[in-house]
Every structure is written in structure tokens, then in C-alpha cells.
């Protein structure tokens, strides 16, 4: 697909999150991008759209954060930046979460690509000059 969307501010991120959630049926969304590109901020926008009532923060150290929505649905947010092997991802139960019929947002998904099924939506977020560019792959 490789659709590119320019993002100039957090309001644009909120609009992009709304567009993606309404346009794609995928409940597993994997987001790549360099440090500071805005992956966690984008996930905060997704969570706001989905009615998350918990504080959304980067799970860099816990690896997985669980959030609750107003509807009672759970959402999982992964950050695999600190993992060094696929086995580590398996050891924390990643497969279990990825096989639930819930939203899973994944930062730094490259390590776990073998665990991801066809229904994953891949996004890439990068900083180019004064804007961010989100590519829907």
C-alpha cells in the first residue's frame, strides 16, 4: 500500500489515528520508527480514540502495558526495544496477547515479525525536516 501521511502536530496524530481505526480492520498495529519519532504519542492517540481510561505511557521497561477502555475491553501496548531475541518475546507471553481478539499496539516490532500474522497493519513513523511522515505499509 505505502500510503504516506504528513503530520505537523499532535492534532494531526489524533486525526490519523481516527482515520486508521475507521479504515482498517486490523487489531494488531505494529509501528516502526526511530527514537523520538512519536510512536508512543501516536499510540496515545489510538487509545484516546478507543476510549482508554488509563494513563497511556511507554512500556519500555515493563515491555507490556495493559489499558482498560470505557467499554471494558482491554488494549495491550508493547515496546520491544530492549529485547534482544525472539525467545525473550516468547518468554513474556507475547503470543498469548497477540492471539486475543483485542487491540495490540507494538513499538519496535522488527524482532517479533515471525510471531505476527497476516492481519497486522504495519506503520512507519519518521521525522523529515519539520514534520513527521507516517507510512502505512
**125 contacts 134 by C-beta, under 8 angstroms:** yes
Classified by CATH at the fold level, domain 3-136 comes out as Rossmann fold (3.40.50)
pLDDT digits (tens, 9 = 90+) for 27-61: 999 999 999 899 999 999 999 999 999 989 888 77
Q: How many Cα atoms within 13 Å fall on the side-chain side of residue 52? A: 21
**What are the extents of the domains in the chain?**
3-136
Give the pLDDT of residue 119.
Answer: 84
Q: How far is CA 90 from the centre of its chain?
A: 18
* Arithmetic mean of pLDDT, 13-30: 95
* Arithmetic mean of pLDDT, 106-133: 93
Distance CA 27, CA 20 (A): 11
Amino acid at each position: 500500500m505505502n500510503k504516506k501521511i504528513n503530520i505537523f502536530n499532535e492534532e494531526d496524530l489524533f486525526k490519523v489515528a481516527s482515520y486508521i481505526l475507521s479504515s482498517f480492520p486490523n487489531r494488531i498495529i505494529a509501528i516502526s520508527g526511530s527514537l523520538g519519532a512519536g510512536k508512543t504519542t501516536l499510540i496515545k492517540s489510538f487509545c484516546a480514540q478507543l476510549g482508554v481510561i488509563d494513563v497511556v505511557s511507554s512500556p519500555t521497561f515493563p515491555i507490556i502495558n495493559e489499558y482498560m477502555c470505557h467499554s471494558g475491553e482491554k488494549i495491550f501496548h508493547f515496546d520491544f526495544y530492549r529485547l534482544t531475541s525472539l525467545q525473550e518475546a516468547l518468554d513474556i507471553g507475547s503470543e498469548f496477547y497477540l492471539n486475543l481478539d483485542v487491540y495490540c499496539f507494538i513499538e519496535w516490532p522488527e524482532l517479533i515479525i515471525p510471531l505476527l500474522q497476516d492481519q497486522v497493519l504495519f506503520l512507519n513513523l519518521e521525522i523529515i525536516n519539520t514534520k513527521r511522515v507516517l507510512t502505512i505499509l
